[in-house]
């Protein structure tokens, strides 16, 4: 654990160039706090603001210990027979705040499906990114992105529409006529263990958008220059838990880590996924994911503070960058990940120290492998 942490931090210090970094927009991890940071909680016919329901909704949205045994706190979302519907469906869900159209975001979260999910008869959405329809527009439509449990498969579904009004208020939009629907990826159910998802997206109601999606560190979908949402003024928001629109919901539960949302580009995202997946450290999956998120933030903070010149206002500088992204200035997603070819003189010593540390860990690992060879 310490070895991987030190290695990653040394890597960051060894290459102290002008990488872009990302800030946390929302940290909803239940291991870090209660439900008060969420915009809304919905369950059993009721809806509360997070500040009014910091402990959740009893027996429907609860903060409990990880079922896989890490000891960390997670959310358990539950449906039972007799639940009351909300907005035409049976929900036990958390909602975050809105992200504007044109914004670039990273969403990272994990879910755990108990083995009882294998007997569920209904289709269930366990995470979704929804839009708010504009005035005079129908609100009877699919979420722009949904993680859908369907039989023994889980599917990532995307719907979108270029038009300002998808369908008038009081009408029901028709897929293929009023809006488009497509399946981006699918994977096995994997009950009884944690699964972790990462979404990198620029939300766009025209062909300036992009979308990348990972499951457990493996890239499942990647697309540039394509629409990926509805043409709505208020933007999108993330929801997680259980949503069942059948006449009678299955009495089931699912577990959720809580979502962490970041803005802009992330320089170390792919590297950290690779390091954590390939490391020889045996950690509980949820704990491993939490360490990855914390490492990402530690490195981002270190780079941000070290690249600021004397007299610069870091917050103002970041706000300028965020404004560029929100207003959709057409930058490519990795455009600003440029490096300075000539490092500043006062960081040469830091670079040498970092390289020496990496060399030491490489030598140590090689020695261990030579003296304790892996079994055939």
Residues 8 and 94 occupy one common structural domain: no
Residues 276 and 249 occupy one common structural domain: no
pLDDT digits (tens, 9 = 90+) for 78-123: 999 899 999 889 999 999 999 999 999 999 999 999 998 888 889 9
Write the CA distances from 200 to 26, 302, 328, integer angstroms: 15, 22, 16
CATH number at residue 176: 2.60.120.200
Domain count, the chain: 2
Residue 102 contacts residue 254 (beta carbons within 8 Å): no
pLDDT confidence of residue 372: 46
Of 263, 284, 308, which closes a domain? Answer: 263
User: Under DSSP, is residue 191 helix (H, G, I), strand (E, B) or coil?
Assistant: coil
Residues 186 and 67 occupy one common structural domain: yes
Of 216, 242, 263, which closes a domain? Answer: 263
Q: Which domain holds residue 122?
A: 24-263
Residue 231 contacts residue 161 (beta carbons within 8 Å): yes
Residues 106 and 133 occupy one common structural domain: yes
Residue 70 has pLDDT above 70, yes or no: yes
Of 232, 263, 294, which closes a domain? Answer: 263
Residues 102 and 130 occupy one common structural domain: yes
Residues 73 and 221 occupy one common structural domain: yes
Return mean pLDDT, the chain.
78
Residue 12 contacts residue 268 (beta carbons within 8 Å): yes
Q: What are phi and psi of 349, to 5 degrees?
A: -60, -40
Residues 221 and 128 occupy one common structural domain: yes
Residues 244 and 322 occupy one common structural domain: no
pLDDT digits (tens, 9 = 90+) for 317-374: 333 222 232 333 333 333 333 333 334 444 445 555 555 555 544 444 444 444 444 4
Residues 309 and 336 occupy one common structural domain: yes
User: Under DSSP, is residue 167 helix (H, G, I), strand (E, B) or coil?
Assistant: coil
| pTM for the predicted model, two decimal places | 0.73
Write the CA distances from 162 to 25, 231, 351, integer angstroms: 27, 6, 49
Query: What percent of the chain stands above pLDDT 70?
Result: 68
Residues 15 and 98 occupy one common structural domain: no
Residue 221 has pLDDT above 50, yes or no: yes
Taking alpha carbons only, the member of 260, 266, 130 closest to residue 197 is 260
Residues 107 and 139 occupy one common structural domain: yes
pLDDT digits (tens, 9 = 90+) for 259-297: 999 987 654 454 454 444 444 444 677 877 777 777 766
Query: What percent of the chain stands above pLDDT 90?
Result: 57
């Amino acid at each position: 654990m310490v070895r991987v942490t030190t290695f990653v931090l040394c890597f960051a210090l060894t290459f102290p160039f002008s990488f872009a970094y990302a800030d946390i927009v929302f940290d909803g991890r239940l291991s870090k706090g209660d439900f008060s940071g969420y915009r809304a909680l919905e369950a059993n016919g009721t809806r509360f603001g997070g500040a009014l329901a910091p402990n959740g909704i009893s027996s429907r949205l609860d903060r409990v210990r990880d079922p896989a045994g890490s000891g960390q706190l997670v959310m358990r979302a539950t449906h039972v027979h007799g639940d009351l519907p909300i907005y035409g469906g049976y929900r036990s869900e958390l909602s975050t705040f809105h992200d504007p159209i044109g914004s670039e975001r990273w969403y990272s979260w994990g879910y755990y499906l108990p083995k009882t999910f294998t007997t569920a008869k209904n289709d269930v959405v366990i995470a979704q990114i929804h839009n708010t329809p504009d005035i005079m527009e129908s609100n009877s439509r699919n979420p722009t992105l949904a993680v859908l449990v369907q039989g023994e498969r889980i599917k990532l579904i995307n719907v979108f529409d270029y038009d300002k009004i998808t369908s008038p208020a009081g009408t029901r939009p028709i897929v293929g006529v009023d809006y488009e629907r497509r399946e981006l990826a699918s994977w096995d159910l994997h009950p009884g263990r944690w699964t972790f998802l990462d979404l990198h997206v620029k939300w766009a109601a025209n062909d300036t958008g992009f979308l990348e999606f990972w499951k457990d560190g493996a890239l499942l979908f990647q697309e540039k220059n394509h629409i990926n949402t509805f043409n709505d003024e208020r933007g999108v928001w993330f929801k997680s838990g259980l949503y069942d629109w059948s006449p009678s919901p299955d009495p089931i539960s699912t577990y959720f880590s809580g979502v962490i949302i970041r803005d802009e580009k992330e320089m170390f995202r792919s590297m950290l996924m690779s390091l954590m997946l390939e490391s020889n450290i045996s950690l509980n999956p949820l704990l491993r994911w939490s360490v990855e998120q914390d490492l990402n933030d530690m490195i981002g903070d270190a780079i941000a503070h070290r690249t600021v010149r004397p007299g610069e206002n870091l917050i103002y500088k970041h706000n300028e960058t965020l404004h560029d992204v929100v207003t959709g200035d057409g930058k490519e997603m990795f455009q600003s990940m440029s490096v300075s070819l000539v490092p500043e003189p006062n960081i040469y010593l830091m670079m040498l120290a970092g390289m020496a540390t990496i060399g030491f860990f490489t030598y140590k690992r090689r020695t261990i492998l030579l003296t304790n060879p892996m079994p055939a």
